[in-house]
Chains A and B, each alone.
Chain A
Amino acid sequence: MPDQLLFAIEVTLNGLMAGVLYALVALGFVLIFKASGIFNYAQGVMALFAALTLVGIMEGQVPFEHLINVTFGTEIHGFGWEVPALLAILLTMVVMVLFAWAVNWIVLRHLVNQEPIILFMATIGLAYFLEGLGDMMWGSDIKTLDVGLPQGINTWIDETTFNAFGYGFFIDNLDLVATLIAILLVAALVAFSQYTKQGRALRAVADDHQAALSVGISLNFIWVLTWSIAGFVALVAGIMWGAKSGVQFSLSLIALKALPVLMLGGFTSIPGAIVGGLIIGVGEKLFEFLIGPLVGGATENWFAYVLALIFLVFRPQGLFGEKIIERV
Chain B
Amino acid sequence: MTGPGMSAGARGRSDVRDSLDHEVTADGRKIGGVLMDMRSITLRFGGVEAIKNISFDIREGEIRAIIGPNGAGKSSMLNVISGFYVPQEGEVWFRGSRRPPMKPYQVARQGIARTFQNIALFEGMSVLDNVMTGRLTQMKTGMAAQALWWGKAQREEVENRARVEQIIDFLEIQHIRKTPVGRLPYGLKKRVELARALAADPMLLLLDEPMAGMNVEEKEDMSRFILDVNDEFGTTIALIEHDMGVVMDLSDRVVVMDYGRKIGDGTPAEVRSNQDVIDAYLGVSHD
Contacts and interface: CB of A to CB of B under 8 A. Distances in A.
Interface string B99-134: 000011110110001101000111111000100111
A214 B104 contact: yes
A134 B263 CA distance: 63
B136 A217 contact: yes
Contacts of B120: 208, 210-211, 214
Nearest to B120: A211
B168 interface: no
A215 B132 CA distance: 10
Interface in A52-78: none
Identify which of A196, A207, A210, A214 gathers the most chain B CB atoms within 10 Å of its CB.
A214
A218 interface: yes
Interface stretch (B9-17, B44-52, B137-145): B137-145
B108 A203 contact: no
Contacts of A196: 143, 146, 153
Contacts of A213: 84, 103-105, 108
Contact of A216 (B108, B123, B141, B143): B108
Given A197-B146, A207-B124, A208-B120, A215 B134 contact: yes
Interface residues of A, number: 20
A218 B109 CA distance: 10
Contacts of A204: 122, 125, 133
B196 interface: yes
A201 B108 contact: no
B159 interface: no
Interface in A165-220: 195-198, 200-201, 203-204, 207-208, 210-219
B123 A200 contact: no
Contacts of A197: 136, 139, 141, 146, 153, 157
B80 to A, nearest CB: 14
Contact of B137 (A195, A198, A215): A215
Nearest to A216: B108
A216 B136 contact: yes
B132 A200 contact: yes
A218 B146 CA distance: 18
Contact of A198 (B84, B114, B123, B146): B146
Interface string B42-74: 000000000000000000000000000000000
Contacts of B125: 203-204, 207
A201 B139 CA distance: 12
B238 interface: no
A213 B129 CA distance: 16
Contacts of B235: none
A275 to B, nearest CB: 19
Contact of B122 (A195, A208, A216): A208
B253 to A, nearest CB: 25
Given A197-B139, A197-B141, A200-B136, A214 B122 contact: no
B250 interface: no
19 contacts: A196-B143, A200-B132, A200-B136, A203-B124, A210-B116, A211-B121, A211-B122, A211-B133, A213-B103, A213-B108, A214-B113, A214-B120, A215-B133, A215-B134, A215-B137, A216-B137, A216-B200, A217-B105, A218-B105
- What 4 pairs across the A-B complex have the smallest Cβ distances? A216-B108, A211-B120, A207-B122, A213-B104
Given A207-B125, A214-B104, 15 more contacts: A197-B139, A197-B153, A200-B136, A201-B133, A201-B136, A204-B122, A204-B133, A208-B121, A211-B116, A212-B105, A213-B84, A214-B120, A215-B108, A215-B113, A216-B200
